[in-house]
Structure 1
Amino acid sequence: MAKHVSRRAAIGIGAAAAALVTAPRSAAASNEPATRAAGPDGTDPGTVGPGAGRGPELIRRTYQRQKARAGGVWRSHVAVLDAAGVLRTVVADDADRVTHGYSVQKLAVAVAVMDKIDRGELRLDQRLDLTADIILGGSGIYFLQTVWGDEVTVANFLTAMLLVSDNTAVRMCGRVVPALEINEILAAKGFPHTRVEPVANPNRFFLGVTTPRETHDLLWGLATKTLLSARSSDFLLGVLRWINGYHDGIRREMSSAERSRVATKYGADFDTSGAARHEAGIMFDATGAPTLTYAFFADSLGDLDNYGGTHPAVRAHAVLGRVMLDVVEPVTNRAARARHTVRPFSPVDGG
């Protein structure tokens, strides 16, 4: 990728992104246990797994160490379900700062599309034409076709957008849910700072801004099926948990079965301050109950053109992923009112 001034640098992050948010969204709308407030150092003094305070402290120390090694500016939120069934904040590092979400924002876009489906105004099997004028490069698969003229379903481009972060799929979403409507849906769902950035064409937009805490709230609402219908939640979680998705970060040091317990979305870009490498997601226990959410937003990083697994921030994500999964391994959310499971992966040799 050529080094140039990002489109986001050109339009600016805006007043909302410059301000420190002082009134984060409450998790009270969830039918799952509320998140307990973090201590003054951003950790919770309670118990996760065996040993008083051992799990949260291990995650906190690992986060601080990996953050220092990777450099840059980090804004993060991690919450873990403890052995008593209480969701506790373990890391709250500038968690209410509005920041560019880059491709992590595709989660919010997908939620807006599914909300419209839940209201009966759109269908997963509805077809749209995929023409050359809508193709966008960068991450994804559609631009690799070199010829177009397909008809694809809403389910098709949502899968491409979440599994391989397809950028053309974002434009397809804009055709069925315009930018202003996406923002209206997100506001109605209680996300005052998660927004796409409209442009002159009402059906197109930049991916916009969010906060780590709102990303946590969105993830937890998706996992507990309080944000969307159970059917819509299961569809999105099924894509995010599938093992053909992103593996360089949180899921790198995991077996295929362990990877299937993690729903994750990665985002990467750069602006005049440096590179950005983000990742956010949910870890589930062996029964399909959600046990942990993470939202790591890191920018002002070096290694600008390295989008691979050797980027320092991506290495940090990999270390954090292994530690977080080990911490929640002994934890079972027996009281979970909503669960999600995926089929075990089985290779198929054609036929």
Structure 2
Amino acid sequence: MTMGMSRRAALAASAGATAALVAGGTAAAAPAKEDDLAKLPPAEKIRRVYARQKAKAGGTWYSHVTRVNAAGAMENVIEDDADHVVNGYSVQKLAVATAVMDKIDRGQLTLGQKLDLQADIILGGTGIYFLHTVWGDDITVANFLTAMLLVSDNTAVRMCGRVVPALEINDILAAKGFVHTRVEPVANPNRFFLGTTTPHEITNLLTRLANGTLLSAGSCAFLLSILRWINGYHDGIRRGMSSEERSRVATKYGADFNTLGAARHEAGVMFGADGSPALVYGFFAEGLGDLDNYGATHPAVEAHAVLGRTMFDTIQSTTSAAARTKTVMPKFQPNNGG
């Protein structure tokens, strides 16, 4: 984990800036009582719950939420210092995966290409590869992309760097119009720190992924199928959901700490009843307490869970005839072997 404060985070801290919640040009409303929330329009309900959960969790939040309107277009629900440049931590794995798939779309790489899983590339923290205790097997690009997005495997990031070096990742992201979403190169050209993004840029990436314009249709579908699968991260946004509901949410979590305190992030897409993208969210929070708690009881993660249930309930039955793409995940079926 990175213990140092980034230059941008240091500047933000020294300036003593406080995030302002803005939606449609209005400031955050005072938290509503629980029984009042049911009477509110969906967007206002989300704003009220966000304001309450942000205050309860503490820290400094940078957030962006959009929700589909009656015309099928995404409209802002929350813009809370959404252009702030923040260390994205493992949420940045979305950008890394985008760069790898872009190279596949251009015919310079394939999902079936194999690389050896070398012992000296193994990195601890989140993931599965470091648990193997023995290494050397050949794995496909599809294998390590799945590990990186489904269980946030850190070794998989290094595997990505072997096929798309750090500078090339940044060039691909720049070509796609991202200004602040970058990995941080190091001396080894095939390795990097995960770098920075903004809530606006990560929700833009996710919106384009969900409507099939970020990459080829097949590449977008591949990444979304991993992010939506029910074996993924459940402590935050998807905690209070059924398996069917979880399959309608593509999400990526990121957690770390720096000299400001703990950081807990989550970003993703919720899909309507017809498989159309219905809501996109990006929650980034730093300067939090409970530094060593990476579980479901961290205050910011508990806030994500409340927000997840609230947001999903507003799009539970949503459909959109104007949606560019519609995708429905196959129903989960348990398997007892054989």
TM-score normalised by length of structure 1: 0.88
Structure 2 gaps of 5+ residues are 14-22, 30-37
CA distance in 1 between counterparts of 2:297 and 2:166 reads 35
Structure 1 residue 224: Cα displacement: 0.4
Matched, 1:348 2:335: yes
SS in 2 for 1:7: coil
How far did 1:282 drift? 0.1
* Moved segments of 4+, more than 3 Å: 14-20
1:209 match: secondary structure:
strand
Percent identity, please.
69
Amino acid at match of 2:27: D
Tell me the equivalent position of 1:83.
70
Task: Check if 1:281 corresponds to 2:268.
Answer: yes
Change beyond 3 A, Cα 1:81–1:17: farther
Distance apart, 1:266 and its partner CA = 0.3
Counterpart-to-counterpart distance in 1, 2:185 and 2:10: 15
* Residue 8 (structure 1) shift: 5.4
- The superposition leaves residues 191-250 of structure 1 with CA deviations (integer Å, 9 ceiling, x where unpaired) of 000000000000000000000000110000000011100000000000000000000000
Match runs of 1:169-188 below 5 Å = 169-188=156-175
Q: Secondary structure at the match of 2:26?
A: coil
Give 1:1-351 correspondences, 5 Å limit: 7=2, 9=4, 12-14=5-7, 18=11, 38-41=24-27, 54-351=41-338
- The CA distance in 2 between the partners of 1:306 and 1:264, in whole Å, is 20
Distance 1:205 1:195 in 2: 10
Shift of 1:19: 7.5
Please state how far the C-alpha of 1:53 moved relative to its aligned partner: 6.5
Contact 1:62–1:320 (CA<8 Å) still a contact in 2? yes
What CA distance in whole angstroms lies between the structure 2 residues aligned with 1:331 and 1:39?
A: 25
- TM (normalized to structure 2)? 0.92
In angstroms, what is the RMSD of aligned CA positions?
1.8
* Corresponding pairs, count: 321
Deviation track 1:71-112 (CA, whole Å, cap 9, x = no partner) reads 000000000002232211000000000000000000000000
CA contact (8 A) 2:66 2:78 kept: yes
What amino acid is the match of 2:145? L
- 1:18 positional shift: 4.6
CA shift, 1:288, in A, is: 1.2
**1:276-295 deviation line (CA, Å, top 9, x unaligned):** 00000000012211000000
User: Which secondary structure state, in structure 1, belongs to the residue aligned with residue 171 of structure 2?
Assistant: helix
CA distance in 2, matches of 1:196, 1:268: 16
Structure 1: runs of 5 or more not aligned: 1-5, 21-36, 44-50
